[in-house]
Amino acid sequence: MRAGSMNGFSWPVRVYYEDTDAGGVVYHACYLKYLERARTEWLRSLGFEQDRLAREQRVLFAVRRVTIDYLKPAVFNELLTVNAKIAEVRKASLLFEQSITNQQKVVLCRAEIRIACLDSDTLKPVSIPESILLELDHAN
């Protein structure tokens, strides 16, 4: 596992039987779950738990837009690496560039995911908390 926000973050994922279709190939929606796990673990590695952010700083992070290219299939029992790096920081959003690779370092999918920062009460966009922005700057 490698952490480092702007420099990138990697998270291992094993393909379980439940992630596959009848042919043993990973179902397309599962890739989104894998990408989400890496972003969540990246935030956790920086010291931010999403439930605490909602409770204490009154912010949530929500997917605003996803662009994904499926390049090669992943299969049952494969060990994958989900990579994430921040490509852009805006006042109320982050743009992630993500990829999933297999053990042979073959890229199976690529995605750009825009994450919006929302007020946990109103669900309207708000500025990303300074504490998170500072951690991003520190990790870069």
Predicted TM-score (pTM) of this structure: 0.90
Provide the pLDDT confidence category of residue 8 given band limits of 50, 70 and 90: confident
Average pLDDT of 29-57?
Answer: 94
> Per-domain residue ranges for the chain?
5-139
The sheet with strand 9-14 has its strands ordered as 9-14, 79-89, 93-101, 107-119, 59-70
Q: Which is the catalytic residue, given 21, 51, 69, 137?
A: 21
Question: pLDDT tens for residues 114-139?
Answer: 999 999 999 999 999 999 988 877 76
1: confidence class by pLDDT, cuts 50, 70, 90: very low
Distance CA 33, CA 17 (A): 15
Query: For this structure, is 119 an active site residue?
Result: no
Among the ranges given (6-10, 24-28, 98-102, 110-114), the one the predictor scored with the smallest mean pLDDT: 6-10
Relative to beta strand 79-89, strand 93-101 is antiparallel
Provide the CATH topology of domain 5-139.
Thiol Ester Dehydrase; Chain A (3.10.129)
